[in-house]
Amino acid sequence: MKKRYQKPRDPGLFDRAERLEDLRALGDPLARLDEVVDWTLFAPVLAQAETDKDHDLGGRPLLPPLLLFKALVIQSLYGLSDAQMQFQITDRKSFQRFLGLSDADSAPDEKTLWAFRDQLRKLQLQDQLFEAFGQHLQGRGLIARQGQMIDATFIEVPRQRNSRPENEKLKAGEVPAAWEKEPAKLRQKDTDARWTQKRKQNFYGYKNHLNVDTRSKLITRYEVTPASVHDSQALEALVRPGDPQTFADSAYQTPACQEVMDKCGIQARFILPARRNRPLGRQQKRINRARSRIRCRIEHVFGMMAMGIKSTFNRCIGLARNRASIALLNLTYNLVRMEQIHRLGLKTWRAA
């Protein structure tokens, strides 16, 4: 029996449009995101990142700040390096559509992406971008403010093989003298990242401390610290007077945390810890079960960051750059979560 196989076809006039529609039908997450996000709300903040380059002197025209910002959103969403971004934008039609690029346009190169992200960091615009979108979420009624959850997750960075004396110097907040004599080496050393251990597993890097709305699971505030900082020490940066009842695990059940909550007038709904030779009573266990049903929802946020966004590892060096990168990660999570709320028709506001 004779078999027939498909032959390569000549390109047609509508091939690109048809392929993009195929991608949309297959569930392109970037297309879904682009449909629900009003990107113009970021324009006033991004305008501050524009350079003062004189185009009369010639040179290549600049890429629009909004295009570069959307490229950073892709980068946070897929956990790509700057070099990978340039390749993937050139290669993938879904990325090009999201950025508004055609086959005739060049993809932003890795140095352009790095420079733009660093410009956001220097001007601290990543915080303003997060706040601008937070106000948009408030205006749409997506943050219920019936309760909030506090917790932290690790963001690891490339591990460094320092000697014991060098690590002792870093823990003391000092830079080893030998590194200061070699500026090129010092630039590649992260003097802010720290080691820590949790459940007998070692982590190196930073912590992303979050305040998350209990109903919508949207991030409302964040703080970034070295990984060795205890979760409870970032509580003051995450709460404000007038906040709703706050749920957190037993790590926050300390006198210092209770003082912060009392000063802000917030009801603390922390998990009650069991002490050595002082097990929890029946009533305390009942309280913990009720609080855990709500508090556990913040683990869904961390799970989505780890499995859905795949951004629990950073390639940046230093606290300032990692903080800016983590801020963009938190903003990207909120963008994706808002699209999810819209697509699934979830009720998260007060009237629900």
Residue 352 has what pLDDT?
37
- Adjacent-strand bridge partners of 219: 212
| Backbone φ, ψ for residue 195 (5° rounding) | -85, 150
Regarding whether 205 and 150 lie in a shared domain, the answer is yes
Whole domain around residue 205: which residue ranges? 144-157+193-327
Regarding whether 152 and 118 lie in a shared domain, the answer is no
Closest of 274, 214, 287 to residue 246, by C-alpha: 214
Q: With contact defined as beta carbons under 8 Å apart, do 48 and 125 qualify?
A: yes
CATH of the domain at 211: 3.30.420
Residue 46 has what pLDDT?
95
pLDDT mean for each 10 residues of the chain (352 residues)? 75 69 78 94 92 61 92 94 92 91 88 94 96 94 91 93 85 85 87 90 95 96 96 95 94 94 95 87 93 94 87 88 95 96 78 40
350 is a domain residue: no
Residue 15 has what pLDDT?
67
20 is a domain residue: yes
Quick one: which H or E segment has residue 154? strand 148-156
236 is a domain residue: yes
117 is a domain residue: yes
Distance CA(159)–CA(325), nearest Å, equals 18
Regarding whether 94 and 32 lie in a shared domain, the answer is yes
CA separation, residue 117 to residues 51, 126, 240, 317, 331 (Å): 13, 9, 29, 13, 14
What's the half-sphere exposure (Cβ side, CA atoms, 13 Å) at 91? 6
Residue 14 has what pLDDT?
63
Distance CA(225)–CA(240), nearest Å, equals 19
150 is a domain residue: yes
23 is a domain residue: yes
Q: What share of the chain is helix, strand, coil (3-state, %, to 5)?
A: 50, 10, 35
Number of domains in the chain: 2
Q: What is the dihedral of CA 192, 126, 221, 36, to 10 degrees?
A: -140
Q: What is the CA radius of gyration of the chain?
A: 24
Regarding whether 220 and 149 lie in a shared domain, the answer is yes
